[in-house]
Every structure is written in structure tokens, then in C-alpha cells.
Structure 1
Amino acid sequence: MHTTAQRRLLQRAFHTVGGLCVALGLAMLALLMSGPAAHAMPAAYGPQLTNQATVSDTLTNTVMLPYLPHYNCSYNLKHVTNRFGVQMYGYHGQDSPYFCELIASGATWVRNEISWGSVEPVDASPAVYQWDYIDSVFTPAREGGFNMIATINGNPAWAATRARGPIDKAPLSRFADFVGALAERYDGDGIDDAPGSPVVEYFEFYNEPDAGNLGRDKRWGNYGKEYAEMLAAVYPAIKSANPNAKVLLGGIAYDWFEEDNGPFVRTFLDTVLANGGGNFFDIMNFHQYPPFAASWGAPNGPGLIEKTNAVRAKLAEFGVNKPLVITESGAHSNDAVGSPMTPELQARYVTMLYTQVFAANVDFMVWFMFYDPEATYPYKNGLVSEASSNARPTRKLSFNAYRTAVDVLSQANFVKAWTAAQTGNADLLTYQFTKDGAPLYVAWLGPITRTDTAPLRVPGRTATVHDIYGAIRQVVADADDGVADGKITLQIGAQPAYIYPQP
């Protein structure tokens, strides 16, 4: 979530004021890290992690990708999936400075932005589509076999008063015609395809459409009924062109609401669902950033589980059950004014957030973003540094934590989150998995900047503890705590630990 002025600096598609919530949220981060007050979470928002829909029968979390030497990028994922994604903008094919690092990261999802206005800038009959730019945006699908989420975000001036708001100057059928042609061009069936027949099957309708009337960037926030009508128009057009395609609700911020002096309309989702919009999208989609964790009853952060539960509860109010994805989350690595962070803290958030993705049964999460934005942008939230004409990107600590999380968690099965009664400490967040038939725990002591440790006892005879970068931190035996009782005592701090007990 980023300001219009900031996103204007990234790339031409990178222009959203809805992301203004990061400006406040990042300022709140210092308060959260210094020990925020606890917020009560309604009982209805408690754990609801079973029997949830899944994104598709083909979704799997078992893909393991090899580390690759720098610039040897002849590898195609062939659209296998895990739960790890990244945000990029513009062209990023094999000759992009980021493509090799993208392959090496282990991500299988790439979110990118496209514009209706760039394809159909002129109101003509019959329609004349200019596909060159979008063809280039979808290069990772063709050259790397990545699963791409196409965020449709930019109306032509002849069709709408606002680029990211309601379509009020042309019939919705014109938009439906465009998205139908879009789905057909990228369905890979060899008929009316883009060159190389790339496959793109996930279409998201606008970025943070729940933003209201703030300045010149007026979106759909106060037009939930019209947004539902738009979905009703485009859904059958996409399904007719490609029955395998998935329609995503535009990733809503669902934070920093107008009553909190923010730009986002709390009732937008209610209005969309009340007007039947739930019948016309396949996947629920929202954004989640750690600075807002306390708002969802998670004073120790990062709050992903609690917010996911709240979103599920809202859908349930309207009898809607959809798979959930998060198409923006992340943290920066630099010591920005008003929002101090470090590369180490950013890396910790990678592990925390993706651990909670599995615990909350979120089908995938997109890290915003893969590379640092331009130098004038204050927050360095990439996993790698910005490339330049004379320097390739370099991997940050967060990249190493991301790749380690892919290696550790992609083949793991979530079992349960331990309660405070089980850990003996409400600040000690512990998540139990199984991997290859053996137990695995991920644990940390919140909030993220703590320097002390707390004891955690897990069953086992010995345990090997790895840090978030994959290095062995320690090996502990049962009797090391002075008692041989079939349990191991570990000291856990703010950096998450991967714990591998042996029975």
C-alpha cells in the first residue's frame, strides 16, 4: 500500500493512492515495535482454519526449486505452484536484470499490473486492441512458466471519469469485451493467442478498489454496488473465453478506514457482497501489512492470521466461502524517517508472514515487492536491491530468508498454532508443522524488536535449531535443561527459529 506520489516513481503502471495506508502504517510500526497495547479480538474472529476452500484442484505446496548460478536462467517452472509470490512492474523477461534472481528466489507467483487504457486507448468500432505492452508484461509466464496475477488497473478516458474508478462513460459490455479478449489471448490454446502462447489465468479487478474519494484518485470505495455489477459483467466474459481462468476480487486494503482519517471505505466489501458480487469472483483477495497488526488484535504481530479470520468472518456473514489470497504484504529494510527498520527486521517479517500464510490457510501471498523501488522512494521493501545501468541487483537478507522459507515450508503441512497455555507465554508464537513425517516448529518471541528470550519446551530427545537463513543455530538435547523428561527446552528470541526435534 503506497501513495500516489511514491508509486509514480516506480514504473508507469505503479500509480496508486490507495496504498496511502503504508504511509500511516509505517509510521505506526515504531509504536508497534515498542510494545503496543493489546486489542481484544471478537470471538467470531477466532481460529477458523479448517474446511476452507482451496484455490484449485491443481494447487500444490510441494514444489522445490533449485538454486541457480547467477545469470543461468534457462529454467521453466511449467506453472507449478507454491504459496510464494512477488510483485513486479513492467517487463521482466530473461534479459531483465531481475529474472535470474526471480528464478532463484523460489517464488512461483508474479503479480503485475496492466491497463485497459493502454490496450484500447481509442473508442473505436470495432474495437482496436494494442497488445504489445501487455505481451511484454506477461513475458515471465512465457519464458519462465510463472503463474501470473494480472491486476487490471487503468480505464481509458473515453470509458471512465477516473482511471481506477467506476466505468461511467461507456457500457460495461465494452469492458467485458476487453477482458474476454484478454483471457482468450493468454489462454494458451493456440487460437488468437499472444506470440508464444503464454498462459495467464488469474485476473484481479483493480488494486485496492475500496479506496474512496480522496483527492483526484477516486476509486470504487463508495460504489460497491457498481463494483458488483462490473464483476457480473466481466465474469461470464472471462469464463467463456477460458473456463480455467480465475477472477480475483481486487485486493482490498481493508485497513486505515475513513473513520480513522484514512482513504478506505470499511463498508465496501459489505456492499459488494450485499449486491450479489460474491457470485462473480472465484478468489477473495486482500492486503495485509504488519503495521496494522494491532488493529486486528495481534499486538505482537504480524497479524496475518487475525486479519484473515476477520475477512473470512465477513464473507461468512453473507454466506460466501472462497479461497483467500493476499496480493500485497511486506516490510522495508532501511532506516526510513519515522519508520526505523533494518535488513534483519525485514528478513524476520518474511519468515513470520509466510509462516502465518500456512497457518491461516491462505493459498498464496505476494511480497511487495521483489526489487527495491527507485532511490527517491523512501522505503526499500524489495528482496533484492534496485538494478542500475552499471550494477546488477544484490540479494538482501530478506531474499535469503525468503528462499529458506520456500525450502522449509513448501513441503511442510501445518498442524496447529500453540496456545499461550501450551507455550507458557502469550508472547511466544509457536506453529507446529510436519515435514517428511517428522515434526517441525516455527517459533518467535514478539514483538519483533525484542532482545530477550523465553523458554519453549517441545517433545523430543534432541533438536536442531536453524535460523531464518538456514544456518544451524544450535543442537539441544533433552537433558541439557537438567531433567531427562522427553522434552527439550529452547531459548527463543525475536528472530524466528526453525526447530527440528528428533524423538
Structure 2
Amino acid sequence: MEKQIGVAWERPHPGPFAWGMIEKKDGEFDFSQADRYVKAAQDNGVLLLGTIWPFADWDQAKCRQASACEVGPADTFYNSEIPNSRCKPCDMDKYSAFLRALAERYDGDGVDDMPGLVLPVRYWEVLNEPEMQSGELTFFKGTASDYLEVLKASSKAIKEACPECKIVQAGAAGTEQYMLDYWAGQLDAGAADYFDIANIHYINNGDLASLNVKPFKALFTERGISRPIWVTEAEYGEASTDAAVKSSTEGALSAGASKVFFTRFAVGIRGPPTPGKFSSVYLELADMGCNKEG
């Protein structure tokens, strides 16, 4: 469907890049599932933003009771591609080794690349919405300091293997005050030193006119920090219209976003997309360059 619309980028969610999916046992790498995803994307001419999940069950239990890090059955992503145990890595050295191997396999430099690699993966998002910690949705069971530690280690390891790779901050969940406070604290602690691209979400809540870009960008402007901003989740409610999708996307770009990722392509419909079915507004946005590389 992405090829029909003219989409140039995809952000698989959760995606195939969880540490424990690739390194199921300590020191044993199996990239087969990730390779299939990367190959399917390149067969359709689609570039990937890969989300890194720094969790492997064999590591999580090394330094703590595993149960302290587990999410419950009510969690939206329980028993999914993301391991249920979601604290920061116990062994940062082994986590870093995994990241170097991951970046090297998909960077397209001709050294230890995936066989047949044509479209490299050079943009990596470190986790997702770490400020979201509820019974229904917890992507990271850790403090703000824990996330900063993971971000710093991830940026260092990836850029060691792939200096041209770009690090994308974990998507900010929105612009509720506690979310803005979380990311203000991260910026004050120096997080911007470890990512190249800022990242905000609009999940049918907040500033529709700019897809939350305007209030999120203000956090950076107030601190004299300049980063490109991507909206990596734009999701509309069932009452939305083609006109609202178009105007809000234009508003996000005008407010400073350089890229917008949509969670589905049928306006007014919730749930998983239906292959081959999409609203015509997304063809217009593709023609405007909203979904193109760059």
C-alpha cells in the first residue's frame, strides 16, 4: 500500500529491532526476521526508521528480579515483539555490542552488510514514549535518568559502527503537561547531545493545527537548542476529515516539522489498515512531498 500512495518512509511499530528478538541468547545473533522486514521494505522502495527496544530477557534478569521489570497482561503490547521485561539493560557493554552489530548489518557500507542490502537503515529511534508508564501502556520501566543512560549508550554504540547514522529521540507521547515536563527535564539534563532528530506524536490529542509540533518545538527554542523535528505518529479520530488531515499536516510542516509519519491511511477509520484501501488525501500529501525522502 505504501508503494501505491507514494510513501518513501515507514516506521514499523513495534518492528523487528528488539534486542531480544535478534540476540535470543547471549552472543548468538539471528537477524533473519529483521532481514525479511528490511528486504520487504526495499522491494517496495521504502526507507525505514528503526525503533530500538533495549530489552532481552536473558539480560533483564542479570541484575534484578525479572518480575520488577515486567508489564502485565493489560499492557497493549504484552507478549508482543517487545519483551515483557522492560527495564534498562543490566549489561550495557553487551547491549552496545548488539547495537554495533545491528548498525553494521544495515548501514550499507559494504562491511558485514545484510546480503542483498540496497536501501540502508541509517535512522534509529531509541525506544518510544518512555514517559508513558501506566497499566495499559508502558514502553519503558525506568526513570528519566535511566532513559538518558540508554540514549547516551545507544548513540555512542551506533555511531561507532555507523558515523553517518542519525539518532532519533524516543517519540514524545504528546503535549500533556507531564509529557512536556518529562522532555524539558531530558533537555535540561543534556539529552540533545545524544540525538540528531527530535520526535513528537499526535494521537488525536493536543494541538491538531500543528500535530503538536508548535508546543514541542517551544521546549527546544526556550533552551536555544535546534534540531529537526519529525512527527513519527500522526493519528486522527473517527470524526476526522480529509480536510483536517491536510490542513494539520501543512500546519505541522509550517511549524517546523520536516517529516510526518501517519499510523494509517484511511481517514475516519480506527484499527489496522486494510491492504489497498486508503483515502485520496494521502496521495495529495505525497505529491506535496510530505512522504518523500529528505
Asked if 1:119 is matched to 2:119, the reply is: no
Structure 2: how far apart are the matches of 1:317 and 1:222? Answer: 27
Structure 1: how far apart are the matches of 2:38 and 2:205? Answer: 32
Q: Can you list the C-alpha shifts for 1:222-259, whole angstroms capped at 9, x where unaligned?
A: 6111211111111121112111111000111134566x
* Change in 2 beyond 3 A, CA 1:136/1:270: same
Q: Can you list the C-alpha shifts for 1:128-150, whole angstroms capped at 9, x where unaligned?
A: 11111111121244323322101
Higher helix share: 2
Superposed displacement of residue 206, structure 1? 1.4
Letter in 1 for 2:213: T
Letter in 2 for 1:304: S
Structure 2: how far apart are the matches of 1:130 and 1:222? Answer: 27
Question: Which residue is equivalent to 1:262?
Answer: none
Question: Which residue is equivalent to 1:326?
Answer: 231
Question: Which residue is equivalent to 1:31?
Answer: none
* Change in 2 beyond 3 A, CA 1:371/1:200: farther
Asked if 1:166 is matched to 2:87, the reply is: yes
* Change in 2 beyond 3 A, CA 1:380/1:327: same
Unpaired segments ≥5 residues, structure 1 = 1-100, 259-264, 294-301, 334-340, 373-377, 387-392, 412-503
* Change in 2 beyond 3 A, CA 1:370/1:201: farther
* Change in 2 beyond 3 A, CA 1:321/1:151: same
Aligned with residue 350 of structure 1, among 245, 248, 253: 245
Question: Which residue is equivalent to 1:204?
Answer: 125
Higher strand share: 1
Q: Can you list the C-alpha shifts for 1:309-345, whole angstroms capped at 9, x where unaligned?
A: 2212212344321110010002255xxxxxxx3xxx4
Secondary structure of 2:55 counterpart: coil
Aligned with residue 255 of structure 2, among 355, 360, 364: 360
Letter in 2 for 1:248: V
Question: Which residue is equivalent to 1:395?
Answer: 277
TM-score, normalization by structure 1: 0.49
* Change in 2 beyond 3 A, CA 1:316/1:166: farther
Aligned with residue 182 of structure 1, among 75, 89, 102: 102
Written as runs of structure 1 = structure 2, the 5 A alignment for 1:96-495 is 101-112=1-12, 113-114=15-16, 115-122=18-25, 124=26, 127-153=27-53, 155-160=55-60, 161-162=69-70, 163=83, 165-168=86-89, 170-198=90-118, 199-212=120-133, 214-215=134-135, 218-220=138-140, 223-256=143-176, 265-293=179-207, 302-304=208-210, 307-333=212-238, 341=239, 345-370=240-265, 380=270, 385-386=273-274, 393-396=275-278, 398=279, 400-407=280-287, 409-410=288-289
Contact 2:54 2:95 in 1 (8 A): no
Secondary structure of 1:288 counterpart: strand
Structure 1: how far apart are the matches of 2:281 and 2:137? Answer: 36
Superposed displacement of residue 304, structure 1? 1.5
Contact 1:331 1:381 in 2 (8 A): no
* Change in 2 beyond 3 A, CA 1:249/1:221: farther
Q: Which structure has the larger Rg over C-alpha atoms?
A: 1
Letter in 1 for 2:214: N
Superposed displacement of residue 186, structure 1? 0.3
Structure 1: how far apart are the matches of 2:205 and 2:285? Answer: 22
TM-score, normalization by structure 2: 0.80
Superposed displacement of residue 357, structure 1? 2.9
Superposed displacement of residue 108, structure 1? 0.8
Written as runs of structure 1 = structure 2, the 5 A alignment for 1:70-89 is none
How many residue pairs get matched?
Answer: 265
Structure 2: how far apart are the matches of 1:157 and 1:190? Answer: 31
Structure 2: how far apart are the matches of 1:252 and 1:211? Answer: 9
